[in-house]
Amino acid sequence: NDGKIFSSNSSECGEKEKVSAYLEIANNLIEEAKNKYSMCDVVKNVAEVAAAVRHKKPVVCAEVLENGQEKSDVYRIWTRNRVMDGRSMQVYCDMDTDGGGWTVIQRRTEATNQTDFYRDWKTYKRGFGDIREEFWIGNDIIFALTNQRQCTLRFDMQNVSGECRYAIYSHFWIEDEDAVYRIHIGDYNGTAGTGRDKNNHKIFILLGGSRQEGGDNPFVQEGFDPRREIENRPFSLTIQREVVEFLNTPHTNDLELIRAQEVADFIKKLKSNKAPGLDLISNRMLKNLPLKFILYITFILNLMLERCYFPQCWKTAVVDPIPKPDQDLNLPQNYCPISLLSSLSKVYGSVLLKRLNQFLDNNNIIISEQFGFRKNLSTSHQLLRVTELIFDGFAMSETTGALFLDVAKPFDNIWHDGLLAKLMRLSCSAQFIKITHSFLTSRNFRVRVNNILSNPRPILSGCAQVSLLSPAMFNIYVNDISNLPSCHIAIFADDTAILTKHKHPDTAVLALQTYVSQLQLWLTDWKIKVNPSKCSCLLFTKKRNMPVLNPIQIFRQPIPFVSEYKYLGLILDAKLNFDSHIQRAVTKAKNSSFALGRLIAPKSTLAIKHKLLLYKAIVRPVMLYGSPIWGTTSIRNLRKLQVFQNQQLARIVNAPWYVRRKLIHQDLKIDPVFGLHENYF
């Protein structure tokens, strides 16, 4: 046994010697490879290799730095922005200052005077100079850089004596050329100046004259002369100048302070099941707050009111994209975006809206042709007004020409400076105008998918559709729409119809064309876009033979003539007999009834009163929408609706075929369709 053990130990020692020899050879090979291939000195592990290709197409110099490029030099980046359209560009990246990763947008040395910085608008738009020496990167590129992610702006300055100072703004972005590259900066830190952001919200203005007549900062507002530059935008510049001067003018606080009862009453009306905004403060949480916290909220809101301030954290919308049914989900247009704002911002918006409505009502500001978002007015009232005008034309043997305009994204395209200017012209409270300015500017959104939020993206125009203030703001924005004595305007929010009457159809069309020519100027001035392809013209007449007429043109695009048009949910046809609308109403009502399925079927276990409630709440309103307008249609059309209602009521009570339908109506206390429109008058 001892011999076997000894033998085993001797063999094991031999194996260990072999392993040690192999390890030594391997170590020598590794050392030789390190000396031979320099890459091994740079790339030490797999993580560094992955980091070296982290950003295949960097969008800013910070991502170039993350790719391992630590030398200040010219690099190529790809901004994600509509201006650059995916094209790459060369920029100078400063990798030495304050941790590196800075994209240099301007370098200027006054001592050398190598580059002339007194250029025209187009040159500043595209950029100029030597990117390794003195240069201006270009306004369009700055817009592209600052609108793809949150950016920080840094100024580094040195005087002739060698003293250096710097200024850092952690919030920086500019608007596009249509907004004259308005700058937004904030959150100052540094050693240069006092940190008062006097250039915040200023537009890009070129300074003329000699070098002694202006400063070096192209964002400075002094020396404004709209005739000197941007000759195709004199109206926009005039408006922006008026707004900037107004915002910089001291004011007195004249708005009524917010009462705690106002806040409490609005919170009680909030729906508990609504989704919260980015702060995750739900309506249910607000409704369960004790009175002491309501007082705290009121105190904070009054401080905001006094300081004309709308909190930045309340101006971020969370957008949940909801997929549309049976659509290609790889296309972004097949999603319906739902915006969620802070519940507290809605409380603040409600008290502001109350004060705005008081001002509008007391001064009778909103035009009588506007029926949208107003008390005691509905689509039915506007439709009655339009159809009465058409029937009056029939009675006078006249042709009524109607032009229906389609405004492109009305809430999203409101020009902020234009809205503020219109509030100023209405002599609205200066305090309220400055609060509105704070409400509109620096808004952004974040898209949420699978509970993951995207980076903030700025909202450059428009009003938040989910905000309580937005409908009233839109009414103010379109309140000064062009008007002519020969034309009648019918507006419900953004649904606009222009009507005119004449015995001769060609004269009616000519009157509409004259109005459109004037309207184009108003649309252009206030940056309101229309979709000519979605606009329509309809001639209401009892004449059988109509002459061939030239189409009306808007922005050099023809508006087609149609035989019927759906306005405010009601299909209007040329003779106003409502045949198409009645047929469509019956079809939609059948679809609604089919959607209820077994709930109102004869074998349903629901009580008859519950079935009847479902019919009254879901099916019947679809069928009877607009009945005050089409109630005088032919008996043949009314009979179609009555037959459908008879079928539904018999189905609800499971009545045999021989039971008279009139008795079913009496037992269920349901009015027949015939004469139903008379109940509205």
Per-residue pLDDT tens over the stretch 603-641: 888 899 999 999 999 999 999 999 889 988 899 999 999
Span 248-262, average pLDDT: 92
Q: Report yes or no on 15 lying in a domain.
A: no
| Element containing residue 488 per DSSP (H, E) | strand 488-492
Greater confidence, 232 or 253? 253
Output phi, psi for 363, to 5 deg.
Answer: -105, 5
Query: In this structure, which amino acid lies at residue 48?
Result: E
Q: Report yes or no on 1 lying in a domain.
A: no
Q: Which residues pair with 189 in a beta bridge?
A: 168
User: Last residue of a domain, which of 508, 543, 576?
Assistant: 576
User: Last residue of a domain, which of 515, 547, 576?
Assistant: 576
- The verdict on 519 and 472 lying in the same domain is yes
Is a pLDDT exceeding 80 seen at residue 19? no
- The verdict on 591 and 610 lying in the same domain is yes
Q: Report yes or no on 201 lying in a domain.
A: no
| Element containing residue 471 per DSSP (H, E) | helix 470-477
On whether the CB atoms of residues 148 and 83 are closer than 8 A, the answer is: no
pLDDT at 348: 94
Q: Report yes or no on 30 lying in a domain.
A: no
Tens digit of each residue's pLDDT (9 = 90 or more) over 343-373: 999 999 999 999 999 999 999 999 999 998 8
Q: How many domains does the chain have?
A: 4
- The verdict on 116 and 180 lying in the same domain is yes
- The verdict on 659 and 642 lying in the same domain is yes
344: nearest Cα among 392, 410, 402, 294: 294
On whether the CB atoms of residues 144 and 79 are closer than 8 A, the answer is: yes
pLDDT at 462: 76
- The verdict on 362 and 398 lying in the same domain is no
User: Last residue of a domain, which of 557, 576, 595?
Assistant: 576
Tens digit of each residue's pLDDT (9 = 90 or more) over 520-538: 989 988 989 898 889 999 9
- The verdict on 625 and 658 lying in the same domain is yes
- The verdict on 509 and 631 lying in the same domain is no
pLDDT at 190: 83
Cα 629 to Cα 625, 635, 677: the distances in Å are 9, 15, 8
Is a pLDDT exceeding 90 seen at residue 496? yes
CA dist 378 and 320 (Å) reads 30
Q: Report yes or no on 214 lying in a domain.
A: no
Structural domain range at position 521: 380-414+461-576
Would you list the DSSP string of 400-438? Answer: EEEEEE-BSSTTTT--HHHHHHHHHHTT--HHHHHHHHH
Give 436's Cβ-side CA count (13 Å radius): 32
Q: Report yes or no on 26 lying in a domain.
A: no
pLDDT at 198: 65
- The verdict on 269 and 183 lying in the same domain is no
Tens digit of each residue's pLDDT (9 = 90 or more) over 300-333: 999 999 999 999 889 999 999 998 888 888 888 8
- The verdict on 338 and 393 lying in the same domain is no
CA dist 608 and 653 (Å) reads 6
Q: Report yes or no on 23 lying in a domain.
A: no
Is a pLDDT exceeding 70 seen at residue 13? no
Q: Report yes or no on 348 lying in a domain.
A: yes
- The verdict on 356 and 408 lying in the same domain is no
Is a pLDDT exceeding 70 seen at residue 466? no
> Per-residue confidence at 485, pLDDT binned at 50, 70, 90?
confident
pLDDT at 111: 55
% pLDDT > 90, the chain: 42
CATH number for the domain including 538? 3.30.70
Is a pLDDT exceeding 60 seen at residue 1? no
Span 5-10, average pLDDT: 36
Greater confidence, 619 or 171? 619
Tens digit of each residue's pLDDT (9 = 90 or more) over 652-680: 888 888 889 889 888 888 888 887 766 66
Span 436-452, average pLDDT: 90
Q: What DSSP character marks residue 633? A: S
- The verdict on 146 and 281 lying in the same domain is no
- The verdict on 402 and 524 lying in the same domain is yes
The four Cα atoms 360, 362, 367, 370 give a dihedral, to 10 degrees, of 60
CA dist 405 and 516 (Å) reads 10
CATH number for the domain including 119? 3.90.215.10
Tens digit of each residue's pLDDT (9 = 90 or more) over 187-229: 888 887 655 566 777 777 765 433 233 333 333 333 333 233 3
Question: Which of 34-48, 147-161, 205-219, 642-656 has the largest mean confidence?
Answer: 642-656
Q: How many CB atoms lie within 10 A of CB 475?
A: 19
Instruction: Report the mean per-residue pLDDT for the chain.
Output: 83
